[in-house]
Structure formats: structure tokens, C-alpha cells
Amino acid sequence: MQVPTAPAPTPGPDSPKDSPRGSPGLFRRLLVNQSVRLQRRFTVAHPLCFDLDNGLSCRRSALDPQSGPGLGRVVQAPGQYSQRRESFLYRSDSDYELSPKAMSRNSSVASDLHGEDMIVTPFAQVLASLRTVRSNVAVLAHLQGHMAAKQASIGNPPSGSQPPPPTEDTGQKLALETLNELDWCLDQLETLQTRHSVGEMASNKFKRMLNRELTHLSETSRSGNQVSEYISQTFLDQQTEVELPRGTPTEPLRPMSQISSLRVFPHSASLSTATIPRFGVQTDQEGQLAKELEDTNKWGLDVFKVAELSGNRPLTAIIFSIFQERDLLKTFQIPADTLVTYLLTLEGHYHADVAYHNSLHAADVAQSAHVLLATPALEAVFTDLEVLAAIFASAIHDVDHPGVSNQFLINTNSELALMYNDASVLENHHLAVGFKLLQAENCDIFRNLSTKQRLSLRRMVIDMVLATDMSKHMNLLADLKTMVETKKVTNLGVLLLDNYSDRIQVLQNLVHCADLSNPTKPLPLYRQWTDRIMAEFFQQGDRERESGLDISPMCDKHTASVEKSQVGFIDYIAHPLWETWADLVHPDAQDLLDTLEDNREWYQSKIPHSPVDPISPERGGPDRFQFELTLEEAEEEEEEERMLAQEASESPDTELLSAEARPDPRDLCLDNQRTMGKPCVDHEGNVMAEPFGT
């Protein structure tokens, strides 16, 4: 099937085509023919004969109707979702224009919300601008042809059914506008650094924008500064230098080539195919477990309930069910006893005493990836081997996680940091352990794959697990958005995944989305995940305090604001990522965006407002992420003032306390009763503050 090339659009004579760049900033609008213009999403096409090493095979186009069913889908224009709140990616970047000329140029096609054809990544903006230039040149050529025809037929009035021709003034204006477009494109191309990819252009832009947002956030309050530092250090790959305490390593030295923490489990030595339980785990509640696992193909499976019913083996039960559901055991000739042996061994290497990064999280990510792979937009897009790689990568992506961050391991000169040269320390370790366990007795689930299949699978798994390093988040997001928008401009709404780079990029983002899917789950599940991640953060903070290290952002249990951390995480990390993913698979992820927004509003509503700093409607727009001082922070600051005043009163130079320095009985009430879980009331019985945690 040939994809038709759209003819250049021809604007009316009195309405020359505007610049595709929005106002203010580097926003661009894709200006193609009317049938494509409102199509924000894509037809996702795939080749059934795709070869991981050689690309398309079988001498057949990926859009060939004979390649098989399901190669594409009808592009649907979004309807009721067009007014959803947009992420910060669609805000103005005018403070950081790459081209001085672009700063003074405005377009009449700007919009508060990103329209169905808004372009925000730099490379796609250049392509969109060049499309406008091409269209304008076509109009100018038409004008020249009309003028020549007019000279040849003077005195013959045009037919009433024909539109009036462009005027000379219109042509001159269009020519000047076209020159400005070319100048802007040249400026952009001249500033490109040849060693950087087009994805890095978008990544650098998004990082600048996020840094600006975080700067504003850090100025609002002490907890706002903590959230800002956490996001910056975790998701922007901005490491901080710390002064390490003196000491000698307590761990015994062993060869650097040895993978640490490997253990032997005797549980499956005598397993046979005939004795394999229905879900791979021994449980006396198999019926209830079966009922719970009926939701394996649905978003929001309660993995906590699965863990309870499977004897705390949620990873084994869920992965075994997914393999059966997808018929992967038959496709790749995986013996059932070998799969169960490997899964039990793998799950045994997740630490049960780690609050968040344990086998529960691995099971949740794997099941989420399974659902995302089955989304209608991606139906039959990926090969069985790619699906196997994605599920396997999700299962092993956090194995043997110690419950601390990469930066903690680097700061403490850990053996893992030394082994992996401070680069994606934990992610490299997870990969090493996950693949090393395949060598254990009766654990090689890939033993019947061909050599080429094993190498291809290993390559994909490595790429996907390394992409779960959160410091690579902005690069992943920028690469995906650049690919999506570039395909939008160049392929007229068809996203063709016909090479390894594009296919693994989508798979990397799919696993990354699954890894950051907690805020898109039903609120009761999301709150449990939040409690767990904060508990893990606080445990790391306690270790840092005991070791004399600076406490990492959001890891100090005495000062961290859980609610603000979640609102910030959604606004600056989860929302932009899921918004971009929803663009790719539209309309399949719209309900996830709705849940994400609902969960954000719930946590936002739980942030107590400071009585001394009420919300001001003049501060920022409706999309501005506002942080207010909590009552706890107000108390801390007042406590500091009281301590200073007390020190002053003990000084011989000061005998009297000012009125501001005297302890307020209301403050004592807030400090004592709220921390004990009791509401604070005044002398008339009115509630002045709710207890913490309500």
C-alpha cells in the first residue's frame, strides 16, 4: 500500500500562512493538509518479517497489505480529551531561545493548550518550519503564474466560482515571511553540535525548562526546596559532591569479577512438570489466587493481594501466568519446571526487608508492561522475542536491590560503585545477577533459543534495564517525544518502527512507564506504593545520618513532605512521560491520564495550607505548581525564633523578651497535640489544626 503524498496546502489570498512557531517560545505547529492537520496520533505500523539485526526482511514494506493483518490502525482525532491539563513541556521556553531572531517573532496561531498539531521538540520544529517554507514557495509560484496569465488575458474577468487570486501585497508579505522562516532554520542548524543527536536537542531544552520550574519551586518553602533537589538529583543526573567520612571498609575483599549476593536455593531441585502448581507456587488458597489473577490483563491488578495469596511469591505467580497467557513456553520451548525454578530463584534474590524495591515492585512492573504491550495501538507490532525480552527485563530490573540509591553507593565507595565505575551502578548489577542466575541448575529458560535469538534477547534486555536508571529519564522522554513528533511531520501520521533503534526506544519507554506507573493506578494501590517508597527513603536517610553523610533529598523523615513529593513527582516526571506515551498510543491511555490527574488532586488536597501564608490567586496561573508552608514548617520556624529569643534573654545584655519571641500557647498546642494524633482546639472549642497524617 502506497502512502499518498499530501499536496501542499494553498492558503487564501488574504490570509498568508503564519509562522509555525508558537508565541511565546519555540512552539511549532505542523502545517500540512487539512486531512492530516488535526491528527495528533499515529498509525503504528510494523513488519512481521522484521529482523533485529537487518531490519526489514522478506523484501516487503512494513505497510504492505500482504505483510499480514493488523499492520496499522485508523488514526483517530482526540475528542473529549483536548482540554486536559498539559505538562510543563508545553509552557514557554522563551527565556532559553536557541536563536536570537526567534525571540522577537510571534505567531498568530499560538494557543494556551497544546493543540492537536503542536510541536515542541527542536528538530521537529525545524522540519515543520521547512514544511511551511515549502508551502509558501508553492503559493508564490502560483502567484507568479497568475500574474503571467493575467498579462495574457487582460480584460477577461475571472469566473464567479473561482476564488480571488493572491494580491501582490500578499505575495510580498509571504516572501518576507518565508525568508524569516529560512533564516530561523539556518540559525538552528548552525547552532547544532555535530556530536549531539536530535534527541539531545530536545533533552537539553526539556532540562532547561525543568530546571527553571524547579528553581521556582525551591524558592517557595523549605519542603519545596527538598522536592526540587530530589527531582534534580534523581531524574536530571545532577550529582552532588559530598565529603566522605573517614573510615576503613568493613567488607572482606573479594575478586572484582565475582558477582556479589548470589545464593543457592534448594526449593526446586526435585521439581518436575507433573508437580508444577497451577501458578508456579505452592498455596492452599489456589482458588482465590486464580480469581485474583483473572485481572492479569487489566491495569491495576492488586499485587499486594496476589502476594498474600501466593505465600509472598507474587513475582513467580504473575510471571508464570503471563508466560502461560502469551503462550511463551510453547513458542520458545521453555520447560515449565525450568521456568518455575528460575522464577523462584530470581524472587529469592529480591530482598524482602527492602520496603519498595522488592519482588512486589518487580511483579507490578512486569504485569504493567504486559498490559502496555497488549494495548490496541501496539497490537501485533512487536515480535514474540521482543515481548519475551520486555517481560524478562521487567522481572529482573531491580533484583538484589539493596534499598539505597546509586548516589548513596557512590558516596560510600561501595564495591558495586567501584565495579561499575559509578555508571548506572544498580542497573548494571541487576542485569549481571539476572543473567547469572540463568546458569544455576535447571534455571536456563532460554536454552532452546538459537544463538542469534539469545544474543538479540540479551541485547534488548540490557538496553531496557539500563534505561530504568532514573537519571536517564529526561533523555528517554526527549528521545521518545522527538521520534513521535518527527514521524508526525515526515510520515503524515504513520509511525513506522522499521529499525532496531526505533523499536527498542519504544520498548525502553514502555518499561520505563511501567516502572513509573504507580501514580496511574487506583488510589488505594498508589497510596500503598507511596508509603513503601517513602519508608525506603527514610531508611536510607537514617543510614546517612548514622554515617555522618549529608541526608539525601526526601530521605529525612523529620522534614520530608510526602504529599508535596507526590504532587511534584507527578507534575514534573510522571505527567510529561505518560502524556507523551498517550500521544503515541492514543486513545488507549486516556483513562490512565485521568487517573493520574485524580491522584494528583487527591495528594494536592492533603497539603495543609499555612495560616501565615494563605494561597494567593495572584501567584502564577492555574498550571503553576504552588507550594505552601505547612503548619509543621511554620512551627519549626517559630521554634527557631523562640530559641534565639531564649538565648538572648540569658545574655547579660538582654533582660526582656519581645512580644514576638514569647512562646504562644497555640504553638505549644500545635506542637504537642498534633504530633500525638489529636486535633488542636482553642479555648472556645474550635479546631485550629488537624493531626498530622489525616
Active centre residues (catalytic):
357
Centroid of chain to Cα 415: 30
Q: Cα–Cα distance between 169 and 446 in angstroms, integer?
A: 70
CA nearest neighbour of 121 among 464, 474, 578, 517: 474
Which stretches does DSSP call E strand in 19-74? 28-29, 43-45
Say whether 670 sits in a helix, a strand or coil.
helix
* For residue 24, cis peptide bond before it (omega within 30 degrees of 0): yes
DSSP H helices, 110-162, are: 122-152
What cell does 377 get? 495501538
* Residue-level length of the chain: 694
Burial (CB count within 10 angstroms: exposed 0-12, middle 13-18, buried 19+), residue 663: middle
| CB-CB contact of 604 with 627 (8 Å) | no
Centroid of chain to Cα 527: 19
- Angle (nearest 5°) at CA 660 between 659 and 665: 85
| Three-state SS annotation for 298-327 | CCCCCHHHHHHHCCCCHHHHHHHHHHHHCC
| CB-CB contact of 636 with 642 (8 Å) | no
Q: Which residues pair with 468 in a beta bridge?
A: none
What one-character DSSP code corresponds to residue 55?
A: B
State how beta strands 43-45 and 494-496 pair. parallel
Sign of the alpha-carbon dihedral angle for 531, 533, 537, 539: positive
Say whether 45 sits in a helix, a strand or coil.
strand
Q: Please report where in the chains the cell 533485529 appears, as a residue.
A: 52
